[in-house]
Chain A
Amino acid sequence: MQSEKKRDTMLQTEDNRSTNQVKKETSNVYKVDKLNLWYGKDQALKDITLDIPEKTVTAIIGPSGCGKSTFIKTLNRLTEMVPIVKTSGEVYYRDNNIFNKKFSVEKLRTKVGMVFQKPNPFPKSIYENVVYGPRIHGIKDKKVLDEIVERSLKDAALWDEVKDRLKENAFGLSGGQQQRLCIARCLAIEPDVLLMDEPTSALDPISTLKIEELVQELKKKYSIIIVTHNMQQAGRISDRTAFFLNGEVVEYDDTSNIFSSPQDQRTEDYVSGRFG
């Protein structure tokens, strides 16, 4: 605990010096090795190989239909909800092969939270939304649950706005508040990784800004992988960026490099707005 705190502060100071630089010695949360994925006969992901470092923000950018959402949903195996999906290759989450039957999908998803494109709170109260995760993992003590609600909502920068109406239905919140509630719901089970699938695409600019600030705050504790089709957003909030095109990783590098000196012509065309 102590050492983790120390490392957090180290990271913070490092952040202050140069926002977009990644510490080389951090370990990886994900190792993806030759991942292929098919929807029936259509191949959506082709030989994806990349490592994702911990406690950083990794952005996945690319035009619509390039496989970025499919890729992020493979990381917590949500793609398996579509019955015709087939995969090959390996994905390791902290050295556990996620396709291995011994590593249960429930365990994986407990460690890897996900925030979706459209805010999707449950049709329950704000309080019930946040305690859903802890409840399914067996926490019943009211006091503990209350603490989790306060901590999670504070971490998601929503506590001050909703603390007086925790029992009200979550559907009464604005879109941006709903999305932060979904983030709080993820944080309640203290995951290791946060997957975000275009979390601001349904939100107005002010709500988007709040989520972006939140992401900067959250990366001190969590590893964040965010899909976005907004290049400015990727530039603003991420440390590493992977550019996807037609199911392949064209380029994967520090965000500053991707935007200032891309190695591949296609990357340069995309980030300079010539297509996509």
Chain B
Amino acid sequence: MALPEQDAATVADYPEVEDNSNEKKRQLKNKIFKGIFFGAVLFSLLMLLILLVRIFTQGIGFLNWEFMTSFASRNADEAGIQAAIVGTFWMMVVTAPVAFVLGVGTAVYLEEYAPTNKFTALIQMNISNLAGVPSIVFGLLGLTIFVRELSMGRSVLAGGLTMALLILPIIVVASQEAIRSVPSEMREASFGMGATKWQTMFRIIFPAALPGILTGNILALSRAIGETAPLIMIGALTYIAFLPDNVFSQFTVMPIQIFNWTSRPQEEFHFIAAAGIIVLLAMLLLMNSIAVWIRNKFQQRF
């Protein structure tokens, strides 16, 4: 705080130092831009805070064990989210392994095996584009292929596979980045000892890239948990009074259940929707925390 005074004193002591007016202008500009950027951060934080406060004040009263273990109901007092929670888990059981195997497999091929030619570049470009395709389009794809063409019906399997397709581009890109971050010296060292490509991949590259790959997968899955549009498209139900017991069961998931409650006219349903959102947010926060924890704990520094 004493610094500006000191500066002034220095200028006074050495009059030959010119008072450059441009200097002040630049300092001011510097401060203004800092203010703008901080304001941008503040705005989004404020919005998040308002959202959280609103949801918590509305929903916390309805959040209890009965809510967690009841089925949906016409009566707001008896309505619960159990079927949606279990439905979400079932969907993840299908989505996670399918998306992991296909996504990581694609990433490994593109990074380690694919020749550098125009065809590879085309695939690469389209994967990046796929990440930007609206989720409802994936819903349409799932409806056409899985529900109708492969006659899976409105099942967990059809929904899970659709979600797997939706998050595939995210997983591919994240896994590619993780694989690329393993230094080429590791490859050289392994190849230099007579290891085959597969041995190098399996024993060196993959273990080193795994934390990054897992982080990408978990973040992609948490996106899948929050998605609603594609599942509405393939016709996941909004009212079921039973738990799915295999991959061919009909099902519902949390965001669909929440959407359904908020679209009802009675105000009580809006409160239990808020309670549902709290459960969903808690789940997403948990998954993202796990992702961050894995990244911090296992990421190798080369």
Contact = CB atoms under 8 A, between A and B. Distances in A.
B203 A132 contact: yes
B96 interface: no
Contact of B193 (A81, A118, A123, A185): A185
B104 to A, nearest CB: 19
Contacts of A182: 189
Contacts of B188: 78, 81, 114, 116, 120
Interface stretch (A35-43, A105-113, A143-151): A105-113
Interface in A183-239: 185-186, 189
A78 B185 contact: no
Contacts of A189: 193-194
Contact of B187 (A76, A81, A108, A114): A81
A182 B188 CA distance: 12
A122 interface: yes
Given A83-B116, A122-B204, A123-B300, A106 B196 contact: yes
Contacts of A136: 190, 193-196, 199, 203
A102 interface: no
Interface in B175-215: 183-196, 199, 203-204, 207-208
A133 interface: yes
B115 interface: yes
Nearest to B116: A83
A78 to B, nearest CB: 6
B302 interface: yes
A186 B193 contact: yes
B208 A123 contact: yes
A107 B196 CA distance: 10
A185 B115 CA distance: 30
A185 B199 CA distance: 16
Nearest to B185: A120
Interface string B254-272: 0000000000000000000
B84 to A, nearest CB: 42
A123 B302 contact: yes
A92 to B, nearest CB: 19
A262 to B, nearest CB: 33
Contact of B185 (A110, A118, A185): A118
A137 interface: yes
Interface residues of A, number: 27
Interface of A is mostly: helix
A135 B196 CA distance: 12
A269 B177 CA distance: 47
Given A120-B186, A122-B204, A123-B302, A109 B193 contact: yes
Report the contact-size class of chain B (Cβ under 8 Å from the partner): 20 to 34
A133 B187 contact: no
Contacts of B185: 116, 118, 120
Interface in A48-96: 76, 78, 81, 83
A110 B199 CA distance: 14
Contacts of B199: 136
A106 B192 CA distance: 8
A106 B195 contact: yes
A133 B194 contact: yes
A114 B194 contact: no
Given A118-B185, A120-B186, A123-B302, A81 B203 contact: no
Given A132-B203, A136-B199, A122 B189 contact: yes
B196 A114 contact: no
Interface string A121-143: 11100000000110111000000
A186 B190 CA distance: 10
A123 B193 CA distance: 16
A109 B115 contact: no
Contacts of B301: 171
A133 B195 CA distance: 8
A182 B186 CA distance: 11
Interface in B254-297: none
Contacts of A114: 188, 192
A134 to B, nearest CB: 10
Nearest to B199: A136
Contact of B194 (A106, A123, A185): A106
Contact of A137 (B186, B187, B189, B194): B194
B192 A110 contact: no
Q: Which of A83, A108, A122, A133 has the most CB of B within 10 A?
A: A122
B166 to A, nearest CB: 33
B186 A113 contact: no
Contacts of B184: 81
Contacts of B187: 81
A121 B192 CA distance: 12
Nearest to B200: A136
A211 B265 CA distance: 80
B294 to A, nearest CB: 16
A107 B187 CA distance: 17
Nearest to A115: B192
16 contacts: A78-B192, A106-B196, A109-B192, A113-B193, A116-B189, A120-B183, A120-B188, A122-B186, A123-B186, A123-B300, A132-B203, A136-B190, A136-B193, A182-B189, A185-B189, A189-B193
Across chains A and B, which 9 residue pairs bring their CB atoms closest together, nearest first? Answer: A110-B194, A120-B185, A109-B194, A114-B192, A106-B194, A133-B193, A123-B300, A136-B195, A120-B189
